[in-house]
Amino acid sequence: MNDQDRPALPRVGVVGLGAMGLGMARSLRNGGYDVGVYDVRPDVAAGFARDGGTAFASSGDLAAEVDVMVSVVVNAAQVESVLFGADGAANRLRPGAVFVMCSTVDPGWSAELEGCLADRGVLYLDAPISGGAARAAAGELTMMTSGSAAAYAVADPVLEAMSSTVYRLGAEAGLGSKVKIVNQLLAGVHIAAAAEAMALGIRAGVPAEALYEVITHSAGNSWMFENRMAHVLAGDYTPLSAVDIFVKDLGLVLDSARPEKFPLPLAATAHQMFLQASASGLGAEDDSAVIKIFPGIDLPKPAEV
């Protein structure tokens, strides 16, 4: 097949150029897409566009130019602002365009959003993501998606360009978000447990580096221990995922179980740990900073430059 015979790539836009969204936009650009971007920080959008792509002044201006709009903002309120705020996208996405929602949100809210966009002729994919900033930049995310066959037909190549694995969980919007809720339960509990274990070891007099080396080669290891406790060893709490993200996400976990009267004791305890860290002024630090709630431990300091 020569270039003239290849189907045209859908026009794609990315809203929200944080740690994840910026990597996703770069992956799309590396995949041959002419990527439009919007961020509330115009300098960040302009910085992306200097290496290829187009920065837009509003989510509405971007929406008018794309077939697939990928939203990578923090929460449901920000998604609503992207769509329905001043010069929002909802009324400027053309009929048949797809809005791909990648935030961690209440599954019921996601299902309602699908219906609201359908009234405007806009297709919707519930598509939370996992993998972290490095995998986003490498186009190796995991995507937990659900939505209509029509939405997938348009957005599939975009999803594939951003991820190594796209799970198609069904036609019902909200299914992707339900799976993400379960993932965040595990992620939050694992970070909290990793912090507790590291704190205990330090308090007991075990050198933090030695403890990390042993645990990461033993049955007690987890992906979160290996990843987040490396931040603790470095004394670097620059946020990739902040404490307040897990205040929000574990809150969503607990909210989703409450109507079913379903007990989540570990999630509830982890949520309280992140709340304590946030109340102590650590909300904007990396989520590994939850270890700072434990008293009487001498944490590693950043290396001197």
**What is the residue range of 224's domain?**
178-293
pLDDT at 282 over 90: yes
Same domain, 101 and 215: no
In this structure, the answer to whether residues 34 and 114 fall within a common structural domain is yes
The 3-state DSSP class for residue 117 equals helix
Instruction: Report yes or no on 16 lying in a domain.
Output: yes
Q: Mark whether 21 and 131 lie in a shared domain.
A: yes
* pLDDT band (50, 70, 90) for residue 7: low
Per DSSP bridges, beta strands 141-147 and 129-130 are antiparallel
Please give the full DSSP string across 216-256, using - where no structure is assigned: TTSTT--HHHHHHHHHHHHT----SSBHHHHHHHHHHHHHH
| CATH number of residue 26's parent domain | 3.40.50.720
Q: Are 13 and 120 contained in the same domain?
A: yes
Residues 19, 160 within the same domain: yes
**Distance of alpha carbon 175 from alpha carbon 49, whole angstroms:** 34
Q: Looking at residues 99-127, what average pLDDT do you find?
A: 97
Backbone φ and ψ for 71, nearest 5 degrees, come out as: -100, 120
Does any domain span residue 298? Answer: no
Q: Identify the band that residue 133 occupies on the pLDDT scale cut at 50, 70 and 90.
A: confident
Is 90 exceeded by the pLDDT of residue 6?
Answer: no
Number of domains in the chain: 2
Residues 157 and 184 in one domain: no
Going by their DSSP bridges, the two strands 129-130 and 68-71 should be labelled as unpaired
Report the alpha-carbon distance of residue 124 to residue 32 in Å, rounded.
Answer: 23
248: annotated active-site residue: no
What's the whole-number mean pLDDT along residues 228-234?
A: 98
pTM score, two decimals?
A: 0.92
Residues 166 and 182 reside in one and the same domain: no
In a domain, 300, yes or no: no
Alpha helix (H) residue ranges in the chain: 19-30, 42-49, 59-63, 76-84, 107-118, 132-137, 149-162, 175-203, 208-215, 223-234, 243-257, 265-277
Residue 305 has pLDDT above 70, yes or no: no
Note the pLDDT tens digit of each residue in 156-201: 999 999 999 999 999 999 999 999 999 999 999 999 999 999 999 9
5: pLDDT strictly greater than 80: no
Q: At what angle do helices 265-277 and 175-203 cross, to 10 degrees?
A: 70
Backbone angles phi, psi at 298, to 5 degrees: -100, 95
pLDDT at 260 over 50: yes
- What is the structure's pLDDT at 1? 39
Catalytic residue among 180, 261, 292, 301: 180
- Answer yes or no: do 207 and 274 share one domain: yes
Enter the tokens of residue 231.
Answer: 């931040």
Q: Which of 65-74, 80-89, 133-142, 268-277 has the lowest mean pLDDT?
A: 133-142
Q: What pLDDT, in 10s, does the model give residues 19-77?
A: 899 999 999 999 999 999 999 999 999 999 999 999 999 999 999 999 999 999 999 99
